[in-house]
Amino acid sequence: MTAPTAWRADPYNDALRSGQGPLFLRRGDGWLLPLEVERWCEAPDEADWSVLRRCRGAVLDVGCGPGRLVAALAARGRRALGIDLSPEAVARTERMGGPALCRSVFDPLPGEGRWGSVLLIDGNIGIGGDPVVLLRRMGEVTSPGGKIIVECAVADVDERCEVRVADGRGALGSPFQWARVGVDALCAYAERTGWRPAHRWSAAGRPFVELGRRSSPPFSRGAEIWAA
C-alpha cells in the first residue's frame, strides 16, 4: 500500500473522527511515536500561535490534519489552504471553517509558486521519508520570497524509516516511509536544498525553524507579526 492510501485508511481516520487517541507511528522494531490527536483537534495553543504570527502572504498548511491552523487563519481573514491525504481530516477542517483539499503535496497544487508561507508542523517534515525531496518540492510551491516554517523533532535525530499507523489496541495500517528530523539535521538539509535558517525558537517544548530562500534578503520580523 502506498503512503497516500495508508493515510486514508483506518485507524488514522477513526482517530480524527472521534477526536481522540491513542494513535502512534509504529516502527518495524516495535518502537512507538505517540501522535497527539487530542491537541490536533483543539484550538491552536500558544506554541501554534508562535507559528501563525510569523506567517505572511497566502499560507499553505501541508498535512493539515483536522485543520486547527487553517481555521484560525481563515477566521482572521487570512488566505490559507490545508492539504491532507485523509478525507476525514479534510472534512473536519472544512467543518471548522478552513478550506482544504484531499491531496498529496507531491500532486499539482493550486497557486504553485505563489504561497508566501508553507507550514510543516506536527512532524510533517517527515512526509515521504526524504526531507531533501520534500524541501525541494517546497521550493516549487513557495513564492520567490516565501518561507517554510518547520516543527522539528525534540531529539537531535536524523532518521528515515518505515512505519505504520497503530492505535495501540491491535489495529495497524499498512507500511509507508517517514522521517524524523531534529533542528541540526533540518538546517543541514536546508543548506543542501536552497534554503537557509532565518529564525529558530522553541515554545511549549516544541522546536521550530523558519527557513527562507538562500538568495532572499533577511526577513523583517516586525512586519510578520499580527495579532492573535
DSSP string, 31-75: -EEE--HHHHTS---HHHHHHHTT--SSEEEET-TT-HHHHHHHH
Cβ count within 10 A of residue 5: 12
**pTM value surpassing 0.75:** yes
To the nearest 10 degrees (0 to 180), the angle between helices 183-192 and 131-141 is 60
* Cell triple for 122: 506536527
| pLDDT above 90 as % of the chain | 86
- pLDDT for 221 equals 35
Residue 1 has pLDDT above 70, yes or no: no
Q: Residue 6 pLDDT > 70, yes or no?
A: no
Q: Is 151 helix (H, G, I), strand (E, B) or coil?
A: strand
Mean pLDDT over each residue of the chain, to the nearest integer: 91
Q: pLDDT tens digit string along 140-164?
A: 999 999 999 999 999 999 999 999 9
Residue 11 CB neighbours (<10 A): 21
Ranges of H-type helices in the chain:
3-8, 12-18, 37-40, 46-52, 68-75, 87-95, 131-141, 183-192, 221-224
Buried b (16+ CB within 10 A) or exposed e, 203-226: eeebbbbbbbbeeeeebeeeebee
**Domain map (residue ranges) of the chain:** 3-215
Q: Which three cell numbers stand for residue 108?
A: 499539482
**CB within 8 A of 201, min separation 6: which ones?**
50, 207, 208
- Which parts of 85-194 are beta strand (E)? 100-102, 115-120, 142-151, 158-166, 176-181
The stretch 107-115 carries a mean pLDDT of 97
Q: What is the pLDDT of residue 142?
A: 98
What torsion, rounded to 10 degrees, do the Cα atoms 202, 204, 206, 209 define? -30
Residue 8's pLDDT band (boundaries 50, 70, 90)? low
Q: Residue range 203-216: average pLDDT?
A: 92
Which CATH topology does 3-215 take? Rossmann fold (3.40.50)
Give yes or no for residue 103 having a pLDDT over 80: yes
- For the segment 55-61, the average pLDDT, to the nearest whole number, is 98
**In which band, very low, low, confident or very high, does the pLDDT at 9 lie, cut at 50, 70 and 90?**
low
Which amino acid is located at 139 in the chain? G
Could you tell me what percent of the chain has a pLDDT over 70?
90
pLDDT in tens, 168-207: 998 998 899 999 999 999 999 999 999 999 999 999 999 9
pLDDT for residue 174: 87
